[in-house]
Amino acid sequence: MAVNNPSDSLVTLTKPRSPVSEAYRTLRTNLEFSSLDKPVKTMVVTSPGPEEGKSTTLANLAVTLAQAEKEIILVDCDLRRPSQHEIFGVNNGVGLTTMVVDDEAMADPPLQQTSVPGLWLLPSGPLPPNPSELVGSRRMEEILAVLSQRADTVLFDAPPVIAVTDAAVLSSKVDGVLLVINAGGTKRDHAQKAKALLEKVNANLVGAVLNNVKMDTSLHRYYAEQ
Ligand SMILES: Nc1ncnc2c1ncn2[C@@H]1O[C@H](COP(=O)(O)OP(=O)(O)OP(=O)(O)O)[C@@H](O)[C@H]1O
Ligand SMILES: [Mg+2]
């Protein structure tokens, strides 16, 4: 796959003036205001179940944060179905799991440059047999500390929170959690269960994103599609 060839998922790059891109910028602003007293430097994005838009939401949020002249590291901590390397068109040969086993990678993280200035991607790297254990390890905490020193904000992609423990475990180690809810797909009791699981580990739930909402077309004429 070609390097720095942003996929169609990156609407904030391909259609920066579209209503959807505007919505991501609103999300950025809302997050900035929701955490005035306690800045969220490290944040996980998860959702109750699979394919609800976690990775797409996170990738576009990362782009809009970088466009606001922040230094951002996006970490693919979905060690089961990683997709950030595909979204950004970078190689997944080395990444987060390399840092777990390799001290040199720990000292010099294998961050991949993206086409967005200020946005760096740490892909998952080769998939491990024991993702939950790895995410819950002391080494993971060291990785978090190393990455935090190198950026204004470190964002983590994660698997669904109901399906496996990885997202809840990671949530207990970071400053904030953003929950993606799919307007067309997430069941109400699944959303409640996800919230309960996160509260159980004392996660700081900074907000929820309602993905896949049908827009009121009467508003479209105020925006120029580009
Ligand atoms: N708002 C949206 N409108 C249209 N398509 C979307 C939207 N959000 C996500 N998608 C598409 O839905 C699919 C799943 O999205 P994505 O990979 O972001 O979900 P996910 O929750 O990260 O999935 P997984 O559980 O596999 O990690 C992708 O093909 C993505 O392009
Ligand atoms: Mg995903």
CA–CA dist 113, 43 (Å, integer)? 20
CA–CA dist 179, 207 (Å, integer)? 6
Look up the CATH superfamily of 41-213: P-loop containing nucleotide triphosphate hydrolases (3.40.50.300)
Residue 131 has pLDDT above 50, yes or no: yes
pLDDT confidence band for 217 (50 / 70 / 90): low
Which among 107, 117, 111 has a CA at the least distance from the CA of 84?
Answer: 111
pLDDT for 32 equals 86
Residue 194 has pLDDT above 90, yes or no: yes
Backbone φ and ψ for 122, nearest 5 degrees, come out as -105, 100
Residue nearest to atom 5 of ligand 1 (CA): 212
pTM over 0.85: yes
Which among 35, 54, 12 has a CA at the least distance from the CA of 170?
Answer: 54
Give the domain ranges of the chain.
41-213
CA–CA dist 174, 141 (Å, integer)? 9
- Ligand 1 centroid distance, CA of 55 (Å): 7
Q: Which of 20, 46, 56 to mutate to test the pocket of ligand 1 (most atoms within 8 A of CB)?
A: 56
pLDDT confidence band for 4 (50 / 70 / 90): very low
